[in-house]
Amino acid sequence: MTTAPLAERLTRVPGPLFFPVTAYGPDGSLDLGVYRDHVRRGIEAGAAAVFPCCGTGEFHALAPDEFRRCTETAVSAARGEVPVIAGTGYGTALAVQYARLAEAAGADGLLALPPYLVHADQDGLLRHYTRLAASTSLELIVYQRDNAVFTPGTVAGLARTGNIAGLKDGHGDLDLMRRVVSAVRRDAPGRDFLYFNGLPTAELTGLAYRGIGITLYSSAVFAFAPDLALAFHRALTGHDDRTANRLIDGFFAPFVALRNEGRGFAVSLVKAGVRLTGLPVGPVRPPLSDPSAAQVETLAALLDQGRALLAEAG
């Protein structure tokens, strides 16, 4: 851990945000050796930060002790080179417990996932996240999606909470996000509040988010194809829209079409991709299902297609 503000650390390294999958052995238990290798490879490939035990890492499927051990392993593998932001979630009481486990494990911050199941009003959501923030010294990024979608006023309230550092948007309403940015700028002046494109396969919408000033994003593809993810990141941040669009048309859009063939494929297809790299990270845990052999073959062909685009670009 470091005393540097999370906003500073998350923007220090120019690369995608890395969400590792969680590795399981043949008996279904954690394989922390493979997990360490996976995390370390991502950092060496150029990740700006590591987000263990979040959506892609099957937070929902991890027991508290497994969560703690995965977070400790990610912190150890990171060696302080990039920040480690662990997931937390469920109701307020459990979210606090996971936050404290992450803090004890040495994490640099938290990604606060939506509350479990219930659809709360704005006041309830604000109380949930501010109580979570008050329970730990770690800074939080709040994840907007599904049953946790905020009004601009609520986000401004979050931004006025000292250790809530940013908002990750998995909802995808650009009009709402534009109004959110404006509200925070007006109602929490001077606050260094971060915004992230957190949609599944965020590269597909990266150009649109960049248009409203949001360039930080989570890259699921980075977990298994860092070369493609980094090439897109360079194109996006360097305003090389020709290259970005060629990668979208030739790889990311077909990948999203494949991802949309199965429920939960935003996780299980990524994990299949990691297995294609030779890392034995195991299958997903129930209730998720793995893609079929034919779908994995399609993924492998898409990777070849994407890399052919990189080769053509020289």
Contacts for 29 with CB less than 8 Å, ≥ 6 apart: none
> Which tens digit of pLDDT belongs to each residue from 261-301?
999 999 999 999 999 999 999 999 999 999 999 999 999 99
Average pLDDT over residues 85-114: 98
CB 290 within 8 A of CB 283: yes
Rounded-to-integer distance, Cα 252 and Cα 299, Å: 11
> Which tens digit of pLDDT belongs to each residue from 258-269?
999 999 999 999
pLDDT for residue 5 = 85
Instruction: Tell me the C-alpha to C-alpha distance, in Å, between residue 247 and each of 8, 31, 70, 85, 197.
Output: 29, 33, 33, 28, 18
Rounded-to-integer distance, Cα 99 and Cα 192, Å: 22
Q: How many CB atoms lie within 10 A of CB 27?
A: 7
Tell me the pLDDT band of 13, cut-offs 50, 70 and 90.
confident
Rounded-to-integer distance, Cα 179 and Cα 261, Å: 33
Q: DSSP letter at 54?
A: S
**292 backbone dihedrals φ, ψ, rounded to 5°:** -75, 165
> Which tens digit of pLDDT belongs to each residue from 214-264?
999 999 999 999 999 999 999 999 999 999 999 999 999 999 999 999 999
74-113 in b/e form (b: 16+ CB < 10 A) is bbbbbeeebbbbbbbbbeeeebbebbebbbebbbbbbbbb
> Which tens digit of pLDDT belongs to each residue from 51-85?
999 999 999 999 999 999 999 999 999 999 999 99
What is the distance between the terminal CA atoms of the chain, rounded to a whole angstrom?
A: 39
Average pLDDT over residues 3-20: 85
> Which tens digit of pLDDT belongs to each residue from 107-152?
999 999 999 999 999 999 999 999 999 999 999 999 999 999 999 9
Would the pLDDT of 1 be above 80? no
Q: Within the chain, what is the greatest distance between any pair of CA atoms?
A: 53
Q: Which of 143, 195, 209, 217 is catalytic?
A: 143
Q: What is the mean pLDDT of the chain?
A: 96
Sign, Cα dihedral of 22, 117, 205, 257: positive
pLDDT for residue 133 = 97
- Delineate the domains of the chain, giving CATH numbers in brackets: 6-239 (3.20.20.70)
The residue among 41, 84, 90, 34 whose CA lies nearest residue 62 is 90
41-59 in b/e form (b: 16+ CB < 10 A) is bbbebbbbbbbbbbbbbbb
Would the pLDDT of 176 be above 90? yes
The residue among 73, 141, 145 whose CA lies nearest residue 106 is 73
pLDDT for residue 49 = 97
Question: Does 143 qualify as catalytic in the annotation?
Answer: yes
Which residues partner with 140 through β-bridges?
110, 164
Strands (E) across the chain are located at 17-18, 49-50, 85-88, 109-112, 139-144, 164-169, 194-197, 216-219
pLDDT for residue 3 = 56
The residue among 202, 200, 172, 203 whose CA lies nearest residue 269 is 200
Q: Which of 168, 195, 209, 217 is catalytic?
A: 168
Question: Does 168 qualify as catalytic in the annotation?
Answer: yes
Average pLDDT over residues 9-30: 92
Rounded-to-integer distance, Cα 314 and Cα 312, Å: 5
Interior angle at CA 212, CA 227 and CA 221, nearest 5:
20
